[in-house]
Amino acid sequence: MIKRRHLIAGNWKMNLDVKESVKLVESIAPHIADLDEVDVLIAPPFTSLGAVNNAIGNSGIKLGAQNMHWEMNGAYTGEISGPMLKEAGCTHVILGHSERRILFKETDDLIDLKVKAAVVQGLIPILCIGETLEERENGKTFDVIKNQLDNSLLYLRKNNAGMPVSTILAYEPVWAIGTGRTASGEQAQEVHHFIRKWIKEEFNDETAARVRILYGGSVNPDNVADLMSQPDIDGGLVGGASLKADLFIKIMHFQNKLL
């Protein structure tokens, strides 16, 4: 049986200046060494990537970006390319977050272009998917998730090379992001199991067994153990709680609550 390492990822969104970002990294870094089978990633704003990368040093924290353009360069004012992210030290990039889909009208087709660009350019995509409260209450959760997976990963589905096993998916129910509401472990596991089954059907057994699927949506020290104890949940994409060192460190050490 393949054992997947958990990943605790902090999405800082549009918060913290450079000095605050470096201070937060320096508070988190000393607590990485004693983690067992848990990876840690942080995704600061673009303006802090270089300074944060320097502060990470050899601590083992992985660096991700919150978005990217699908072209490598060109006349795209205000955009950031994959090569720029790699130069800043990024290994991962968050794509398709619900805030990008809803506030900035990003479509599955556009997100698919970004996923393709990330894979081709050597970045690991963290693809976000999730349903709204209205969609859940109308019983459309699995239809929405399948549609987002089908179309946001269209390139990988049609590419003979398939999905790299390093690819990360993140289930983030829109109704639980920043609301304080959280899917129960059982609710989240049900959707994660559906996602893993989809990977198996679209790709193969090994890919389904190796790809990590994170849960995001008001993850905090009180609910993280319940979520991480589920068989198909391989980590958390943490928002607000990742901005406070004490809370994020407790989430990183969720295994202490599983003992």
The answer to whether 136 and 87 have CB atoms below 8 angstroms apart is no
Annotation marks residue 192 as catalytic: no
Specify whether the CB–CB gap between 185 and 146 falls below 8 A.
no
CA–CA distances in Å: residue 181 to residues 60, 138, 143, 173, 184 = 31, 18, 22, 10, 9
Is the C-alpha dihedral spanning 193, 197, 203, 209 positive or negative?
Answer: positive
Catalytic residue among 99, 135, 172, 192: 172
Q: Does 172 participate in catalysis according to the annotation?
A: yes
In this structure, which amino acid lies at residue 164?
P
Among residues 69, 97, 99, 135, the one annotated as catalytic is: 97
**Position of tokens 């270089």?**
50
Q: Which parts of the chain fold into alpha helices (H)?
A: 18-28, 49-56, 82-87, 98-103, 108-120, 133-137, 141-152, 154-158, 185-202, 205-210, 224-228, 245-252
How far apart, in whole angstroms, are the C-alpha atoms of residue 182 and residue 185?
9
Give catalytic residue positions. 97, 172
